Structure 1
Amino acid sequence: MDPLLEPFQLRHLTIRNRIISTAHAPNFVEDGHPRDRYRLYHEEKAKGGIGMTMIGGSTNIAPDSPSVFGQLYAGDDSIIPWFQNLTEGVKSHGAAVMCQITHMGRRTAWDDGYWLPVIGPSGRRERAHRAFPKAMEAEDIARVIDDFAAAARRCQEGGFDGIEILSHSHLLGQFLSPLVNDRKDEYGGPLENRLRLTVEVLRAVRAAVGPEIIVGLRLTGDELSEGGLSADDCVAAARMLAEVGAVDFLNVLAGAPYDDLGLAGWVPPMGMPSAPHLPIAGRIRQATGLPVFHAGGIADIATARHAVAEGHVDLVGMTRAQMADPHLVAKLMRGDDERIRPCVGLGYCVDRVNQGKPAVCGHNAATGREAVLPHVIGKGETRRKVVVVGGGPGGLEAARVAASRGHDVVLFEAADRLGGQLLLAAEGRVRRQVLGIADWLIAEVARLGVDVRLNSYAEAEDVLAEAPEAVIVATGGWPEGPAIPGGDLTVSSWDILSGAARPEGEVLLTDEAGDHPAAVTADHLAEAGCAVEWVTPDRTPLHDLGPTTSAVALRQLARDGVRFTCLHELIAVSAEGARRRATLRHVLTGKTETRLVDHVVVEQGVVPNDALFHALKPEASNLGQLDHAALIAGRDPFVRCNPKGRYLLGRIGDAVAGRNIHAAVLDALRTCKEI
Structure 2
Amino acid sequence: MTMDLSRDPLLQPFQLKHLTLKNRVMSTAHEPAYSEGGMPTDRYRLYHVEKAKGGIALTMTAGSAIVSHDSPAAFGNLHAYKDEIVPWLKKLADDCHEHGTAVMIQLTHLGRRTNWNKGDWLPVLSPSAIREPAHRHFPKEIEDWDIERIVGDYASAASRMQAAGLDGIEFEAYGHLMDGFWSPATNRRDDAFGGSLENRMRFSTMVIDAVRKAVGADFIVGIRMVADEDWDKGLSKEEGVEIARRLAASGDIDFLNIIRGHIEHDAALNNVIPIQGMAASPHLDFAGEVRAATKFPVFHAARIADVATARHAIAEGKLDMVGMTRAHIADPHIVKKIIAGREAEIRPCVGATYCLDRIYEGGEALCIHNAATSREALIPHDLPKAERPRKAVVVGAGPAGLEAARVLAERGHAVEVLEATGEAGGQINLLIRNPRRKEMVGIVDWRLAELERLGVTIRYNTYAGAEDILAESPDLVVIATGGIAQLPELEAGEELVTSSWDILAGAVKPEGPALLFDDNGGHPGMSAAELMAKAGVELEVVSPERFFAPEMGGMNHVPYARIFAEHNVRVTINTRLVAVRREGNGLVATLGSDFSAQTRVERRVAQVVVEHGTLANDDLYRELKPLSRNLGAVDYTALIARRQPLPVRNAEAAFDLVRIGDAVESRNIHAGIYDALRFCVLL
Q: TM-score range by the shorter chain?
A: over 0.9
Contact 2:227 2:243 in 1 (8 A): no
Say whether 1:286 aligns with 2:295.
no
Matching residue within 566, 574, 598 for 2:581: 574
In structure 1, the partner of 2:344 is 338
**Is residue 2:37 matched to residue 1:31?**
yes
| 8 Å CA contact retained: 1:252, 1:293 | yes
Please list the CA deviations of residues 392-416 of structure 1 after superposition, one character each: whole Å capped at 9, or x if unmatched: 1000000000111111111111111
Q: Which residue of 2 aligns with 1:609?
A: 617
Aligned letter for 1:113?
G
**In the alignment, what sits opposite 1:297?**
303
Do residues 399 (structure 1) and 405 (structure 2) align?
Answer: yes
Whether 2:669 is the aligned partner of 1:661: answer yes
Which amino acid in 2 is paired with 1:522? A
CA distance in structure 2 between the partners assigned to 1:336 and 1:522 by the alignment: 40
More deviation, 587-596/56-65: 587-596
Amino acid across the alignment from 1:622: N
1:426 is aligned to 432
1:232 aligns with 2:228: no
| Paired position in structure 2 for 1:501 | 508
Deviation at 1:577, TM superposition (A): 3.2
Cα distance in structure 1, aligned partners of 2:133 and 2:641: 40
- Amino acid corresponding to residue 174 of structure 1 in structure 2: G
State the secondary structure of the residue aligned to 1:189: coil
Mapped to 2, the partners of 1:155 and 1:597 lie a distance apart of: 62
What residue identity is the alignment partner of 1:659?
A: R
**Counterpart Cα distance in 2 of 1:132 and 1:656:** 46
TM-score by length of 1: 0.98
**2:371, 2:670 within 8 Å by CA — same for their partners in 1?**
yes
The runs of 4+ residues in structure 1 deviating greater than 4 Å are none
224-233 or 153-162: which moved more?
224-233
Unaligned runs of 5+ in 1: none
Distance 1:669 1:503, change over 3 A: same
Matched residue, 2:563: 556
Deviation, structure 1 residue 500:
1.7
Q: Report the 3-state secondary structure (helix = DSSP H, G, I; strand = E; otherwise coil) of the residue aligned with 1:320.
A: helix
Alignment partners' CA distance in 2, 1:265 and 1:326:
25
Structure 1 residue 333, shift from structure 2 partner = 1.4
In the TM superposition, what is the alpha-carbon distance from 1:177 to its structure 2 partner? 0.9
Identical aligned residues as a percent: 51
Decide which moves more: 526-535 or 392-401. 526-535
Q: CA offset at residue 88 of structure 1?
A: 0.3
Query: How far did 1:589 drift?
Result: 3.1
**Aligned position for 2:520:** 513
In the other structure, the counterpart of 1:631 is 639
Distance 2:316 2:619 in 1: 57
> 2:4 corresponds to which residue?
none
Q: Confirm or deny: 8 A CA contact 1:490 1:599 kept in the other structure.
A: yes
**Offset at 1:367?**
0.1
Partner-residue secondary structure (3-state), 1:430 = helix
Q: Which amino acid aligns with 1:306?
A: H
Unaligned runs of 5+ in 2: 1-6
Q: CA deviation at 1:483?
A: 2.2
Task: Tell whether the 8 Å contact from 1:430 to 1:520 is kept in structure 2 after alignment.
Answer: no
Q: Distance in 2 between matches of 1:118 and 1:139?
A: 14
Equivalent residue number for residue 349 of structure 1: 355
Post-superposition offset of 1:23: 0.6
- Aligned partners of 2:487 and 2:611 also within 8 Å: no
| Separation in structure 2 between the aligned mates of residue 239 and residue 66 of structure 1, nearest angstrom | 32
Distance across 1 between alignment mates of 2:470 and 2:111: 63
Paired letter, 1:72: L
Q: Secondary structure at the match of 2:84?
A: helix
The question of 1:644 aligning with 2:678 is answered: no
CA shift digits 1:325-382 (9 cap, x unpaired)? 0011111112222211000111111011111111110100000000011111122122
Cα displacement (A) at 1:8: 0.5
Q: 2:188 aligns with which of 182, 186, 189?
A: 182
Return the alpha-carbon distance in structure 2 between the equivalents of residues 76 and 489 of structure 1: 61
**Residue 135 of structure 2 aligns to a residue in which SS?**
coil
Q: 1:234 is matched by which residue type in structure 2?
A: G
Q: Which residue matches 1:329?
A: 335
Whether the aligned pair in 1 keeps the contact of 2:66 and 2:78 (CA below 8 Å) is yes
Tell me what 2:441 maps to.
Answer: 435
Greater shift after overlay, 427-436 or 180-189?
Answer: 427-436
| DSSP 3-state at the match of 2:564 | helix
Aligned residue in 2 for 1:145? 151
CA distance in 1 between partners of 2:558 and 2:330 (Å): 23
Rounded to whole Å, the distance in 2 between the matches of 1:377 and 1:534 is: 44
Instruction: Return 315-324 or 349-358, whichever deviates more.
Output: 349-358
Q: Which amino acid aligns with 1:558?
A: A
Q: Over residues 605-650 of structure 1, what are the superposed CA-to-partner deviations in whole Å (9 max), with x where a residue is unaligned? A: 0111111111111122212122222222332222223222321111
Shift of 1:182: 0.6
* Equivalent residues of 2:248, 2:255 under 8 A apart: no
Once the two structures are TM-superposed, the CA of residue 435 in structure 1 deviates from its matched residue by: 1.1
The answer for the alignment partner of 2:603 in structure 1 is 595
Deviation at residue 275 of structure 1 after TM alignment: 1.0
Partners in 2 of 1:402 and 1:243 — Cα distance?
56
Q: How many residues are aligned here?
A: 675
From 373, 382, 385, the counterpart of 1:367: 373
Determine the structure 1 residue equivalent to 2:279: 273
SS at match of 1:431: helix
Structure 1 partner of 2:3: none
Contact 2:533 2:563 in 1 (8 A): no
